[in-house]
Amino acid sequence: MAPKSQQNSKLKKRKQISGNKGSSHGSISKKPKFVDNKSSKSLSRGTVGKPFKPPKQKENQHFKSNVEKAEARKDNSVPATNRDRRVQAKELAEARKKKRKRHYDLEHELARLWEEMRKRDITKEDRSKLISKALENMKGKIPEIAGSHVSSRVLQTCVKHCTDTERDAVFEELKPHFLTLACNTYAVHLVKKMLDSASKKQLAVFISSLRGHVASLLRHMVGSLVVEHAYHFANAAQKQTLLQELYSLELQLFKDLVSVKESRLVDIISKLDIQKASVSRHMTSVIQPILEKGIVDHSIIHRVLVEYFTVADKTSAADVIQQLSSSLLVRMIHTKDGSRIGILCIKHGSAKERKKSIKGMKGHMKKIAHEQHASMVLVCIISVVDDTKLIRKIIISELEKDLKELILDKNGRRVLLQLLHPNCSRYFSPDDLASLNSSIPSLCNKGESGDEKAEEKVENETGEKESEADGSKVSAEGSEVVEGGKKDPLIRRHELLVDSGLAEKLVDVCINDAGEILRSNFGREVLYEVATGGADGILQSKLGEKLSALYEAIASLAAEPKSEDAASGDEHVFENFHSSRTIRKLVLDCPAFALTLWNKALEGKSKMWAQGHSCKIVQAFLESSDSSVREIAGVELQSLIAEGVLKIPDSKMSANKS
């Protein structure tokens, strides 16, 4: 017999041959994995005939690990429930905060005191005790904890309600750290609160601490808030100190040579004989980073930009206008200087830039129209921009929704009055007209080179002079005209007012709410302009019938019976202060209305209205320049004069006779 080794080798060869035969058919056979490979190898090495026993080591290890976990749960080293896990996570977070925050326990105590001191029903004595305790705990550590979210709020409450002595102590402790705190997201609110309650001496100390850092702080999103807050509370000299740092490096050195009277940059340059080009370059380096970051909400930046336009060359001014001609302009026009910048951007911007500026105002028209300074930008747009389709689509479409509210508002009526009677000194102050007429010297068509001789030549030839206040052009006759668009102003007004349908809706509102508008202080002026047809009779051609309906509506109110016990809001239109004067003006300036009013309300009743505010209306029929009005009321009113019921000054009677 052959030895066992030879038999095993033969068995292996047979297995290899049978495996090759199976693979030759193209099918790949896989062994079923009932046991591990290691156990199969052990069987082939001479363990044939012995029963296979699976290893028990892994099962025992798994069993032991479960036992260990159960024992660990018994020892409470691992939380068994979700509540225990949350408590443990909270404890770990507290431990990490204590390691990370130096004054964690102090802040925790301050938060507890703050919850007590800010209650509404707490007495002043109890609050003062809590504030004193909190300030005592914070003493010597205020600059370190002022940047914390919680501690900053506690300090603000303490500064608001503490005594002057305690507030002074906090100010002295924070004084060396003002610049650092001004750039902190939370500490900046504490600095602003300190400025709100600072004395004049403390404000001067704070502004002096900003010296040399104004430009860098204005470039900071948080630090700029502090500079603006200080600029708001500063007096004229302190404001000039902050501005001079932005004008030129020379002015920082020779600031004592400039007085408060030289508030304009042009006057300062001429007094100190500084090169205008160097000032322009320095201001460009200051302004450009601020505009790139979009920090344009502050009034100090608006003032700097206004002064920059007076010294900037043509290219630099055009670049700034291009940057501002977007949604940034909406954030600037709420201040006086910002409104002037908006007007300059509209007047000197290209058609594309004007379109961007107007589109940036979309959705904000109502708010803009009701603001004192922002409304002047809308007045400039409807006076300068030739793209009337764009104005009708964006501006007029939004304003039409609240026409009555606009009519009754002091600032909202300005846009309507500019369309009805442009640049009227009765509705716009001299400062408003000056801002509408302002311009950038380097971008003006006249005298772009800036040569003084050329400007003097233009002044002598056209009879115009430059206003000392703002550089606006005022003609020798005293009338100011807004320059800008190429379209005829009358055609532009007609397209915006009549063709857009705004005038018709305006007349309808005046008819439906004639009584309320007549009795209001501001709406009566809009109604007067509508009733007279506007300047140049712009409404008469297409809305003649509507105006006649308006006359009938006012006459119907006047024909109502006189009530002696009427409330002040329901006064008769002849007895109300505002409405009686408006009706008197209409009688003098609008003969068609005067005839309607006499026939419907006053004929045969003039004696009843010959006293009080209403007597001015009756007198107006004899003072009218139209002969038909005087004739229709002459017979009845002359009898009243003869009886002594109605009195007319001799000067007015002689003027009418002549």
pLDDT digits (tens, 9 = 90+) for 408-461: 999 999 999 999 999 999 999 999 999 999 999 998 854 444 444 333 333 333
* 303 or 60, higher pLDDT: 303
Condensed to tens digits (0 to 9), the pLDDT of residues 537-565 reads 999 989 999 999 999 999 999 998 887 65
* 107 or 28, higher pLDDT: 107
Q: 346 with 381: CB under 8 angstroms?
A: yes
CA count, 13 A, side-chain hemisphere, 531: 33
Q: 165 with 132: CB under 8 angstroms?
A: no
Nearest to 541 by CA among 588, 482, 493: 493
pLDDT at position 392, please? 95
pLDDT at position 302, please? 96
Query: What is the CA angle 95-101-107, rounded to 5?
Result: 95
Question: Would you list the DSSP string of 399-432?
Answer: HGGGHHHHHHSTTTHHHHHHHHSTT-TTTS-HHH
Q: How far is CA 365 from CA 331, 356, 398, 421, in A?
A: 13, 15, 6, 21
Q: Phi and psi for 466 in degrees, rounded to 5?
A: -90, 130
* 291 or 23, higher pLDDT: 291
Distance of alpha carbon 104 from the chain centroid: 39
Q: Phi and psi for 465 in degrees, rounded to 5?
A: -135, 155
Name the residue ranges covered by the structural domains of the chain. Answer: 101-197, 501-561+569-656
pLDDT at position 650, please? 58
Nearest to 483 by CA among 533, 433, 448, 547: 433
Question: Would you list the DSSP string of 329-390?
Answer: GGGTTTSHHHHHHHHHHHHHS-HHHHHHHHHHTTT-HHHHHHSTTHHHHHHHHHHH---HHH
Tokens 């009005």 correspond to 629
CB atoms within 10 A of CB 536: 13
Assigned token pair, 300 = 């100090």
Q: 171 with 198: CB under 8 angstroms?
A: yes
Helix (H) or strand (E) holding 597: helix 591-597
Assigned token pair, 524 = 């009566």
Condensed to tens digits (0 to 9), the pLDDT of residues 584-633 reads 999 999 999 999 999 998 888 888 888 888 888 988 998 888 889 888 88
